[in-house]
Amino acid sequence: MQQRSDAPAEGRSLSDAHMMLYRAFHAQTNFLRPRMAKIGLGPGQPKILGYLGVNGPCSQRTLAEYFELDPAAVSRMLASLNQSGFVRMTQGEDRRTRLAEVTGEGRAALAEWDRCCDEEGATMLAGFSPDEVAQLQDYLTRIHANLRRANRATAPDGEAL
């Protein structure tokens, strides 16, 4: 007869914080992706539009740094948004920098996206009290800060990965 060990079983991460965050993110993606496609936006594009809508014209580098993304990925997203008419690229003050800014069509798409996010937020947080929502936001902010700090500590150049 095999003895039961107190050692953690393989696959124990099916119910830990890592897996719960992953499953929530996956459910959120499944909820939002069809709505995003209906607006004409692809993966990653709503956050770019949202940033530009709040902050105004900015460079690809600014977007890449803010979202912790590879600049080449941001470049591809901006090219697609530009081709779709949601973003226009303009020359920055120095000749090397190009700035992305939201067009009227992009603002309309962003307004529709905001409605989708309102629906998603109401669904996701149904039954939560305002204090619980604030507590969840605090936890997620701290999780993000902890992971960024760990990434900076392990990155070869000290920058977040």
Per DSSP, 12 falls in state G
Share of the chain above pLDDT 90, in %: 76
In a domain, 107, yes or no: yes
In a domain, 136, yes or no: no
| Domain with 79 in it | 40-123
In a domain, 26, yes or no: no
What pLDDT score does 159 carry?
A: 57
| Listed residue (38, 48, 31) closest to 106, CA to CA | 48
Which amino acid, 3? Q
Residue 160 confidence (pLDDT) above 60 = no
| Lowest mean per-residue pLDDT among 2-11, 83-92, 117-126 | 2-11
In a domain, 149, yes or no: no
The residue-averaged pLDDT of 121-144 equals 97
Phi-psi region of 101 (alpha: psi -120 to 50; beta: other; left: phi over 0): beta
Q: Alpha-carbon distance 86 to 109, whole Å?
A: 8
What pLDDT score does 11 carry?
A: 66
Tokens linked to 86? 């949601």
Domain CATH for 117: 1.10.10.10
In a domain, 53, yes or no: yes
The residue-averaged pLDDT of 32-44 equals 95
Whole-structure pTM value: 0.79
| Listed residue (100, 78, 75) closest to 89, CA to CA | 100
